[in-house]
Chain A
Amino acid sequence: MKYLLLVHHNEDAFGKMSETARKKILEESVQLTHQLHTKRQYLSASPLHPASTAVIVRVREGKPFVTDGPFMETREQLAGYFLIDAKDLDEAISIAVRVPGARIGTVEIRPLIEISGLPTG
């Protein structure tokens, strides 16, 4: 079963952390992906650039609308993700608690709907 772990944190607070502290969180996250990989639980993961770099695209009546960035002011922003393979929710939770971002923000676990007809590999 696939789960998407969405890591949210407060970008301002994250930005105020020391360079070393931020680097450590990133390193730990990379380590986690390797630990998951050896257990065949890793599918994909990545940190994201800040929400200020976001671009919003909508198509209405066939016409694309491109605007800059997030339209909702939220306390926490999406900062990265882990796409994992876990046998059930408890296993997904046990992985989520190891995500370094969980200590400074929140990790939202979303089960994926498995559909057929997608390209493989």
Chain B
Amino acid sequence: MSERPTKPVREVVEEVYRTESRRVLATLIRLLGDFDAAEEALHEAFAVAVEQWTRDGIPANPRAWLVSTGRFKAIDRMRRRSRFDASLAELATQMESSIDDAQENTDESIDDDRLRLIFTCCHPALSSEAQVAMTLREVCGLTTEEIARSFLSSPPTIAQRIVRAKAKIRKARIPYEVPSETALPDRLDAVLRVIYLVFNEGYSASSGESLTRHDLSAEAIRLGRLLLELLPDAEAMGLLALMLLHDSRRAARISGTGELFLLEDQDRSLWNRDQIAEGGKLVEQAFASRQVGSYTIQAAISGVHSQATHPTETDWVQIVSLYDLLMQASPSPIVELNRAVAVAMRDGPLAGLNLIDSVLRRGELSNYHLAHAARADFCRRLGQTAEAEAAYERALGLTQQKPERRFLEQRLAGLQDHS
């Protein structure tokens, strides 16, 4: 058997699809002025790629090749249809005449296209649900099934949401633009929220075997960087820092067999020091701007953890005071829960248990598995075995993530061994 130094073309195309299809789509939407036409052109371009790359070899710049092929295909299709609709002929000519601009598709302008795409997907004229679905579908390339699963919804519901959003973009003429300087700060909040959701989708997928999907998180971090380049906003900085600091623990968070490690059990030598350093620096810069928002504070908390070389060295006093700040900036039951955990570390499990029970009594987190898991942990440490057991059972009943389930099952089994 002879060696095969190159990969089969189909594999290369698949790889290019994974890494480039969203960038190509973003540019095609700008060039063609329509989401559906761009998607159709994208798929045609990849279909041609399989044939032509097999025959002629892989082009030097696959991305540029795909953009121009997709564009020509779309113009062709419009020409064919123009036999029935004269207005399309004019449009096709217009699109063709701007072809020189298309060839100036540098990496930079393609990044701008992705930013245009993100601002369009996160336009306030779309509902919040539609913004998230559009960004995950169009910017990140998730399937409607994946989006549905992560939002506990059904694929037809998500598909319909996306169809309606696209119709609104087209009919109300939502521009494919990065907003003007005056509108930009207002438009940024929605984008930050969506980017963080995308990051979390990558960092902890809502169900299934694998807890992390690195591409999505990397994508969110990349988008965070792009956004920060465009707009030196403190919260954009804070969000990027937060994502980097979370991401720095990726290697330590999951074992080879897919077990989830809590912060306190992680091998801290596996933490990514470069990401921690970059995240820490961004937190400092964001705090210096004096416009400290919730992403920055959360990043600061994560940064305090990152500074401790051993869990026992964690500065819980500082963490609790940052949670106090966070409760002022954006109060929520989840923040209260996390603050309770921090207080337990500072003052002992009983203090934490009292705080968590007061949150649970209000009923806001009664279906949130981590609230019960935390309660279980406090009870376990206080020697209240029966209470702990009930709380672990409750937590188990509320999560479908397999690694999290395994972790809870182990804790439960450990409890029963000791009783």
Interface size on A, residues (CB 8 A): 9
Write out, one digit per residue, whether chain B residues 100-133 have a CB within 8 A of any chain A CB (1) or not (0).
0000000000000000000000010100000000
B418 contacts the other chain (CB 8 A): no
Q: List 24 A-B contacts (CB under 8 A).
A: A1-B173, A87-B175, A88-B173, A88-B174, A88-B175, A88-B177, A89-B123, A89-B125, A89-B172, A89-B173, A89-B174, A89-B175, A90-B174, A90-B175, A90-B177, A90-B179, A90-B180, A90-B183, A93-B125, A94-B183, A109-B172, A111-B171, A111-B172, A111-B173
Within 8 A of B (CB), among A14-55: none
Report which A residues bind B (CB closer than 8 A): 1, 87-90, 93-94, 109, 111
Chain A residues with CB under 8 Å of B172's CB are 89, 109, 111
Residue of B nearest to A90 (CB): B175
Residue of A nearest to B119 (CB): A90
Residue of B nearest to A91 (CB): B175
Nearest 10 interchain pairs by C-beta: A88-B175, A111-B172, A88-B173, A89-B174, A89-B172, A1-B173, A90-B175, A89-B173, A111-B171, A89-B125
A109 CA / B125 CA spacing, docked (Å): 10
Q: Within the complex, what minimum Cβ distance (angstroms) separates A34 from chain B? A: 22
A93 CA / B175 CA spacing, docked (Å): 11
Report which B residues bind A (CB closer than 8 A): 123, 125, 171-175, 177, 179-180, 183
A111 CA / B179 CA spacing, docked (Å): 20
What is the count of residue pairs linking A and B with beta-carbon distances less than 8 angstroms? 24
A83 CA / B120 CA spacing, docked (Å): 24
A87 CA / B172 CA spacing, docked (Å): 11
Chain B residues with CB under 8 Å of A88's CB are 173-175, 177
Residue of B nearest to A94 (CB): B183
Interface centre among A1, A87, A90 (most CB of B within 10 A): A90
Chain A residues with CB under 8 Å of B183's CB are 90, 94
Q: Within the complex, what minimum Cβ distance (angstroms) separates B42 from chain A? A: 24
Chain A residues with CB under 8 Å of B125's CB are 89, 93
Residue of A nearest to B176 (CB): A88
Chain A residues with CB under 8 Å of B177's CB are 88, 90
A56 CA / B179 CA spacing, docked (Å): 42
A1 CA / B170 CA spacing, docked (Å): 12
A109 CA / B168 CA spacing, docked (Å): 12
Chain A residues with CB under 8 Å of B179's CB are 90
Interface centre among A94, A109, A111 (most CB of B within 10 A): A111
Chain B residues with CB under 8 Å of A89's CB are 123, 125, 172-175
A88 CA / B183 CA spacing, docked (Å): 14
Chain A residues with CB under 8 Å of B171's CB are 111
A94 CA / B125 CA spacing, docked (Å): 13
Q: Within the complex, what minimum Cβ distance (angstroms) separates B183 from chain A? A: 7
A1 CA / B171 CA spacing, docked (Å): 10
A93 CA / B177 CA spacing, docked (Å): 14
Q: Within the complex, what minimum Cβ distance (angstroms) separates A3 from chain B? A: 8
Residue of A nearest to B183 (CB): A90
Chain B residues with CB under 8 Å of A1's CB are 173
Known: A88-B177, A89-B173, A90-B180. 13 other contacts (CB 8 A): A1-B173, A87-B175, A88-B173, A88-B174, A88-B175, A89-B123, A89-B172, A89-B175, A90-B175, A90-B177, A90-B179, A90-B183, A94-B183
